[in-house]
Amino acid sequence: MDDTATSKLPESTIEAHTTIEEPEAGDAAVVGECIAAGETAMTEITDYDQSDADDLARAAAWGVYQEDHAESLVETTLEATGLGNATDKRPKVREWVKIILEDALDEPSVGRIPCSDPGVVEIAKPVGVVGGLVPSTNPVSTVANLAILALKGRNALVFSASPAGLPPTAEAVGYIRAELAAVGAPRNLVQVLPAPASKPKSNALLDQADLVQVTGSAANVRAGQASGTPNYCVGEGNPVALVDTGADIERVAADTVDSAAYDGGTVCAAESCAVAPEAVYADLRTELAAAGGYRCDAAATDRLRETLFPDGSGPDRAVIGRSAPDLAAEAGIDVPDGTTTLLVEPTDTDTDPLVTECLSPVLATLSVPDFAAGLDATERILDRAGAGHSVAVHTDDRERALRAARRLGVCRMVVNQPDLNSSGLADNGLTPSLSMGGGTWAGNQLAHNLSCREFIQTTRVAFPVESDATDDATVFAPYTEGANADTATDG
């Protein structure tokens, strides 16, 4: 790695900031100790006002944002997980965290909050101790994201990391705890379960937390949703770039290649597929190649498929998150310098695993007769993998974009942008977040980008107001005097 190493917190300091001495009573007891410590910490901030809560969120962000901390966290993440690259991880730890903080600071989360309902006063309160499962694909920024949002609502937070993700998670939590102490807040507002990381500990956390947030593997998301604990779990990514004939093909290609390759393809909002009408398909492939894509022939595509999906199921953990040249070399494919993305043409969108989330810089491209057929193909792809998540539509026709929005079962659609922007980390009005729900399409309770609103609950106080009741004729006239007049009767 050519990045200059920077100093970390001493191991003893990180240990003191992140773990509670593990009792011998088993995994449930270990988790119980952390939950109890979080509850105690919450009692110490009961009287915090909005300004105090905002400072908690700032402390969480600043803990990882500081340049020396960020550099160390990037290095630790790469050493521990082997996923992605330093160039793309730096903005995830700094710029993205800053954007998320800025958005959260605009939201009221303590005491009386704005309410437009007549006679109603709404009082915001914490949800409790939040359990967060951290993915190894994106550990540090996930920790910062959740810590900002949970602390903004005056909650405590306990993280559970994967074995590979534990070192960067522990380091990030250590920095955050140090900043909490610096502002006079209890360190135990943020904790991580002690080593060794394990599924039993994660499952115990899912069971004992007041609220669960899971960003990560499909197995962890299913566990979170089946835990019986209120939860905001997120859907599987597999975004499609749907291209129209009037799109700026050169821009589309540059945006899509950059997005698909971002941090080794490990971001859930990175495009997996591009669907284009045959009238512009050849031009799109040419521009994708000019932007850094390598067009795999049938033999190379077969080798890549065997490398990524050796048993035909999910992508092989040993090869995901690599650069395009490294992945190509693993598959025995020679690619030229400057290659950032591997372009493949799938054999069958209904069965080829290369049309699912590869967690790698791989982009499947598909030619269709026209935009209507593109909608059909995009719907099939998303129904198979990535339901509810996101789609990027590239068109010069606003009505076609809205037509796609009405048709496709996704919670977010970006227009003339890379799908990476569906995370809201760009100027498009979406809530910036690294956790993106897929609604009932994905079996999620969350149908938008995770925000601090999910980490408060409210008491709505209703005072009497003057009645504004209307007569029956006013309420039912559109029905009784309209198309249904012949069938409407007064029982």
- b/e 320-339 (16+ beta carbons within 10 angstroms → b): bbbbbbebbebbebebeeeb
How many other C-beta atoms lie within 10 A of the C-beta of residue 359? 27
Joined tokens for residue 371: 């935009």
Helix axes 249-261, 278-290, angle to 10 degrees: 60
Name the nearest CA neighbour of 169 among 192, 189, 153: 192
Would you call 244 helix, strand, or coil by DSSP?
Answer: coil
Joined tokens for residue 412: 């977010």
Is residue 194 within 8 Å of 22, Cβ to Cβ? yes
Name the nearest CA neighbour of 76 among 171, 143, 147: 171
Name the nearest CA neighbour of 241 among 441, 394, 400: 394
Is residue 18 within 8 Å of 177, Cβ to Cβ? yes
Is 296 assigned a catalytic role? no
Q: Which H or E element spans position 414?
A: strand 410-415
Compute the distance between CA of residue 151 and CA of residue 155 in angstroms, rounded to an integer.
5
End-to-end CA distance of the chain: 79
What number of CA atoms fall less than 13 Å from residue 229's CA on the CB side?
26
478 burial type by CB count under 10 A (0-12 exposed, 13-18 middle, 19+ buried): exposed
Joined tokens for residue 317: 């953990």
Q: Which one of 34, 115, 233, 268 is the catalytic residue? A: 268
Is residue 458 within 8 Å of 124, Cβ to Cβ? yes
Is residue 172 within 8 Å of 138, Cβ to Cβ? no
Q: 364: which residues sit within 8 A by CB, 6+ positions away?
A: 272, 273, 274, 344, 345, 346, 352, 354, 355
* DSSP for 309-354, written as a single string: -TTSSSPPTTTTT--HHHHHHHTT----TT--EEEE--S-TTT-GG
Would you call 370 helix, strand, or coil by DSSP?
Answer: coil
CA distances from 51 to 54, 57, 127 (A): 5, 10, 19
Compute the distance between CA of residue 249 and CA of residue 416 in angstroms, rounded to an integer.
10
Active site residues: 268
